[in-house]
Each structure stands twice: as structure tokens, then as C-alpha cells.
């Protein structure tokens, strides 16, 4: 079986790609051929060393949609990256990915079609990729979608724990896509999530975390965690072995972008006098020497063997990213989630609901509406810019989680549930059964 993977890679994060790599490695071990198609050059070198990888040409995008937002559309007095961004669904991702006109969409579809006709795959696997379903329909290929509650076509969406602020007016992406869908004899959409329709849905989690209504063509597989090569950081691992509670802190790709200096100062003040050891990963995106008076019980590292450190930690403090969340859940560790945007907050709220985490917001100020325009009308999202998280709030939450056994017990419950799934092996077996029994 020859498989083409379409990970959503335009957002800059590694999560969508890592899940596809996890499946691709399993497929390769079982004798299948795995091919990747990317939109962004950021991870091209990493992938092409393992798999046949194509990078589409984006010359049509002389200026990215992100740059246009910053230079023309945003009406905001403070142009710096907000501490928190509130958005209600995947319609915003369409524009983030640069899919702002039919000309651009048709150009990409043409490139995908050329590549796929060349390699002749049997099946497409996509992770939150807006065009993979259209490619499958156009070329009559089955499509497997890796989905979550926040992205499944029939679930409530990203903001499920409250009523979204009325200021979140989603871009009318249906107006962009529906004429094309009509030409392809596909059902029209009302929201971007409906572009992610597939013949089989794989959920890289468990029902407790992703409570999608049970369907015959939807299967849970536990986690899809990309196993990195075993690299060691001796100083980090040695520090982790000290006989104290160990706290691991990472804010992923947001380090250096979203108030990280203020956050790291809060961490130092909150944890310097506690009987804990703290390992902080900066992802190489922050100059630690800018921080004054770092105590001996807190160590900053550019790179950390995250999976190993999480397995040793008593508490993980992170931004709510899906990859770190699933690694932490798989290890049965309680968490504090400090989100930068709505999707990350949704992850944190689900964990909080399940009794194994606490959500702390960086800002408590009133949301500010950001008005934007594009070809198909006006839209808006909301932001918070003022940093409000204080050391006392963080210290109290840390001590609460370390002292109260319920957080650890509830985290262990999730670990036991997720361990019942065979993960990548189970996912690939489901895909094989689906394909060969069609």
C-alpha cells in the first residue's frame, strides 16, 4: 500500500506532522510506502531524510496572508504578539494557511494532482489539512482524516466549555469554497471543519479527552506520539534525579514570542522557595542570561529530552499543545496549562474537567476585538495583551497539585485508559482493514 500524508504544516508547529510521522514509521515497518506533501519548508529536511517528501511551490503567494494581516487588516494599537488569542473555529486556519482566493486554492490543487498522478498512491491520510478531502474527491482516492473534537465536522468546535464571545466573527470561508465544491459534486459547507470529511476518522486520543459522538467510521487509537531518537542531555538528566519533587515546564514554540520573559520571571519567583526541582525548556528561543538571580533549584535548558523528563516529573506545566498533552497523559502526570490561544485552552479545560489539571490564564483583562477584512467580507477575533499571572497564583496551584492526591490519581486513570490502545499499530491496522475490505 502506498500512502500519501497531508499534515497541516502552515502554522509552524510540529504536532500535525509528528502524528503523521508516527503512522508513517509504522507503515514503513510493515512494508508500506509513505510519502509526504508539505506546504512549508520548515520541516522539509527533517522529513526527506526518512521519507519521499514533496514541497509545493508557493510563488503565487508573493506575500503571505499572515503578513497581510499584520500590515493591512489588523486595527490594533499594540502590534506585538498578543498573550492570548480567542478564535472560534477552523475558518481562521483557512486564512492562516494562505487559502484566501480560488486562484490560490486551484493552484495548490493542481500541484497536488500532478504529484499524486506521478506517485500513484492507494490512499491519502490527512491531519487537519483543508484541501486533502478535495484532492481525494477529485482523484477518486479514499481519505483517512486524523481528527479531534475541535476539528471533527460534526462536533461543536474549538470553544466548547463556554459561549464564544460575540466578537469572534469567523471568516465566511463557505463563500470561498462552495463554488468549487459544487464543481466537484461535493456537498456545500457552512464552516471550514466540514472540509475535513473523510471515509475513515482516526482519533489520536481516548473518548474521555475527545468525546466525539460514536460513529461506525470513527475509531480511537490512544495517542500517536512520535518517538524521537534517543538523545541525552546529561546535565538535565542528572538534575532530574535529585530527590525532590520534579516539575517540568515547557511552552513549546511560543517561547520567546508570548510573554515568555514575564512568565519565566513568574516561575522563578513562584518556585524558588519551594522544596522542588524545576526543569525549564526554552526550545532555544530565549536568552536565559536576561533573567536575573536564577535559584539553584531551577535550571533552564535550550533542549530537553522531553519524553524522558515527563516520565520522571511529578508535575508538568505547559502551554496546552496537543503533543505535550498526550505525552503527559500517557505518563500519568498531573498538569498546569497556561494557554496562548483557544485551542490550547480547550485542551486544558478538558483536562481540568477530568480532574488532572488546572488552567491558569496569562491575562485577565477584557478581550479586545480585532477587526479584519478579506475578499469575502469582514471578520474578527479577540485578544488579550496585559500580563497578569502572578507568582502567588502559580505557587498555590503547584502546591495544591503536589499535595492533593486526586490530581495524580485522576492522571493515572487516564494513563490506564490510554494504555489499553495499541496506538500507531492499532491505527495502521484499522487503515489496512478499511482499505483492503472496501
For the stretch 389-436, pLDDT in tens is 999 999 999 999 999 999 999 999 999 999 999 999 999 999 999 998
Q: Are residues 187 and 289 in the same domain?
A: no
Rounded mean pLDDT of 190-214? Answer: 95
| Structural domain includes residue 356 | yes
What is the tens place of the pLDDT at every residue in 228-260? 655 677 889 889 887 899 999 998 765 555 568
Number of domains in the chain: 2
The C-alpha atoms of residue 119 and residue 78 are separated, in whole angstroms, by 48
87 in a structural domain: no
Same domain, 329 and 211: no
CB count within 10 Å of CB 307 equals: 17
Query: Is residue 64 a part of any domain in this protein?
Result: no
The pLDDT of residue 74 is 40
What was the pLDDT predicted at 93? 94
- The answer on 269 and 249 residing in a single domain is yes
Residues 302 and 399 in one domain: yes
State mean pLDDT over 311-323.
95
Question: pLDDT-derived band of residue 73, with 50, 70 and 90 as boundaries?
Answer: very low
Residue 64 has pLDDT above 60, yes or no: no
Is residue 182 scored above 60 in pLDDT? yes
Question: Using 50, 70 and 90 to split pLDDT, how confident is the model at 59?
Answer: low
The pLDDT, as a whole number, for residue 261 is 86
CATH number reported for the structural domain that contains residue 187 in this entry? 3.40.50.2000
Lowest-pLDDT choice from 26-35, 52-61, 66-75, 199-208: 66-75
Region for 340 from its dihedrals, namely left if φ exceeds 0, alpha if ψ lies in -120 to 50, beta otherwise = alpha
pLDDT at residue 84 tops 50: yes
Closest CA to 90 of 3, 168, 205: 168
The backbone torsions φ and ψ at residue 367, rounded to the nearest 5 degrees and listed phi first, read -70, 145
Q: Is the pLDDT of residue 7 over 90?
A: yes
- The 10s digit of each residue's pLDDT in 339-378 is 999 999 999 999 999 999 999 999 999 999 999 999 999 9
Asked whether residue 71 carries a pLDDT value surpassing 90, the answer given is no
Quick check: is 255 in a domain?
A: yes
Tell me what pLDDT residue 260 has: 81
Q: Is the same domain home to 406 and 329?
A: yes
pLDDT at 76: 38
Residue 354 lies in a domain: yes
User: What is the per-residue pLDDT across 384-396, written as a single tens digit (0 to 9) for each?
Assistant: 999 999 999 999 9
- Note the pLDDT of residue 92: 95
Instruction: Give the residue carrying C-alpha cell 491505527.
Output: 427
Cell 496551584 belongs to residue = 397
Q: 3-class DSSP state for residue 285?
A: coil
C-alpha cell at 194: 466540514
pLDDT classification of 75: cutoffs 50, 70, 90: very low
123-127, 168-172, 224-228, 334-338: lowest mean pLDDT where?
A: 224-228
Same domain, 201 and 239: no
* pLDDT at residue 231 in the model: 61
pLDDT of residue 229: 58
Asked if residue 76 is part of any domain, the answer here is no
Work out the pLDDT band at 438, boundaries 50, 70, 90: confident
Q: How far apart are CA 326 and CA 418, in angstroms?
A: 9
Contacts of 182 (CB under 8 A, 6+ apart): 188
Same structural domain, 243 and 380: yes
- Residue 83 domain-assigned? no
Entry field: residues in the chain: 438
Same domain membership, residue 410 and residue 361:
yes
The model's pLDDT over 109-120, given as tens digits with 9 standing for 90+, comes to 999 999 999 999
Share of the chain above pLDDT 90, in %: 75
Domain that holds residue 38: 2-55+99-222+422-436
Q: Are residues 156 and 305 in the same domain?
A: no
C-beta of residue 176 within 8 angstroms of C-beta of residue 98: no
Question: Do the beta carbons of residue 272 and residue 294 sit within 8 Å?
Answer: no
φ, ψ dihedrals at 147, nearest 5°: -130, 165
**110 and 14 in a common domain:** yes
Average pLDDT over residues 173-200: 95
Instruction: Give domain status of residue 248, yes or no.
Output: yes
Predicted pLDDT of residue 79: 43
Write out pLDDT tens, residues 14-45. 889 999 999 999 999 999 999 999 998 888 98
> Is residue 104 predicted with pLDDT exceeding 90?
yes
Measure the CA angle with vertex 88, ends 127 and 83; round to 5°.
Answer: 95
Task: Answer yes or no: do 394 and 254 share one domain.
Answer: yes
**Mean pLDDT for all residues in the chain:** 90
* 215 and 257 both lie in a single domain: no
Sheet holding 298-301, edge to edge: 298-301, 276-281, 245-250, 315-318, 335-337, 357-359
Amino acid at each position: 500500500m502506498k500512502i500519501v500524508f497531508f499534515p497541516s504544516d502552515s502554522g509552524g508547529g510540529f504536532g500535525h506532522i509528528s502524528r503523521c510521522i508516527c503512522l508513517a514509521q509504522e507503515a514503513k515497518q510493515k512494508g508500506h510506502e509513505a510519502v509526504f506533501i508539505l506546504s512549508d519548508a520548515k520541516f522539509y529536511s527533517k522529513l526527506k531524510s526518512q521519507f519521499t517528501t514533496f514541497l509545493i511551490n508557493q510563488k503565487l503567494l508573493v506575500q503571505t496572508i499572515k503578513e497581510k494581516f499584520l500590515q493591512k487588516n489588523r486595527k490594533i494599537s499594540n502590534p506585538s504578539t498578543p498573550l492570548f488569542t480567542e478564535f472560534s473555529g477552523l475558518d481562521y486556519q483557512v486564512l492562516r494557511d494562505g487559502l484566501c482566493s480560488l486562484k490560490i486554492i486551484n493552484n495548490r490543487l493542481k500541484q497536488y494532482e500532478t504529484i499524486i498522478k506521478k506517485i500513484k498512491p492507494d490512499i491519502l491520510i490527512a491531519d487537519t489539512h483543508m484541501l486533502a478531502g478535495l484532492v481525494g474527491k477529485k482523484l477518486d482516492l479514499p481519505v483517512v482524516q486524523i481528527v479531534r473534537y475541535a476539528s471533527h465536522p460534526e462536533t461543536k468546535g474549538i470553544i466548547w466549555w463556554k459561549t464564544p464571545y460575540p466578537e469572534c466573527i469567523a471568516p465566511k470561508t463557505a463563500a470561498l469554497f462552495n463554488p468549487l465544491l459544487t464543481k466537484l459534486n461535493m456537498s456545500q459547507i457552512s464552516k471550514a471543519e466540514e472540509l475535513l470529511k473523510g471515509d475513515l476518522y482516526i482519533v489520536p486520543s481516548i473518548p474521555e479527552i475527545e468525546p466525539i459522538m460514536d460513529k461506525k467510521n470513527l475509531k480511537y487509537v490512544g495517542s500517536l506520539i512520535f518517538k524521537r531518537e534517543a538523545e541525552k542531555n546529561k546535565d538535565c538528566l542528572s538534575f532530574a534525579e535529585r530527590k525532590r519533587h520534579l516539575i517540568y515546564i515547557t511552552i513549546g514554540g511560543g517561547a520567546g514570542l508570548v510573554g515568555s520573559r514575564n512568565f519565566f520571571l513568574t516561575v522563578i519567583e513562584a518556585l524558588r522557595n519551594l522544596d522542588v526541582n524545576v526543569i525549564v525548556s526554552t526550545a532555544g528561543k530565549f536568552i536565559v542570561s536576561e533573567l536575573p538571580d536564577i535559584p539553584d533549584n531551577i535550571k533552564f535548558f535550550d533542549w530537553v529530552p522531553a519524553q524522558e523528563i515527563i516520565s520522571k516529573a511529578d508535575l508538568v506545566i505547559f502551554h496546552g499543545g496537543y503533543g505535550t498533552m498526550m505525552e503527559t497523559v500517557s505518563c500519568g502526570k498531573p498538569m498546569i496549562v497556561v494557554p496562548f490561544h483557544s485551542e490550547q485552552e480547550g485542551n486544558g479545560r478538558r483536562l481540568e474537567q477530568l480532574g488532572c489539571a488546572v488552567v491558569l490564564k496569562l491575562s485577565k483583562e477584557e478581550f479586545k476585538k480585532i477587526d479584519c477584512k478579506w475578499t469575502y467580507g469582514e471578520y474578527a477575533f479577540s485578544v488579550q495583551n496585559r500580563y497578569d499571572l502572578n507568582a502567588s497564583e502559580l505557587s498555590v496551584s503547584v502546591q495544591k497539585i503536589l499535595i492533593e492526591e486526586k490530581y495524580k490519581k485522576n492522571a493515572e486513570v487516564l494513563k490506564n485508559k490510554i494504555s489499553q490502545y495499541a496506538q500507531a499499530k492499532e491505527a495502521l491496522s484499522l487503515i489496512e482493514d478499511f482499505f483492503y475490505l472496501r
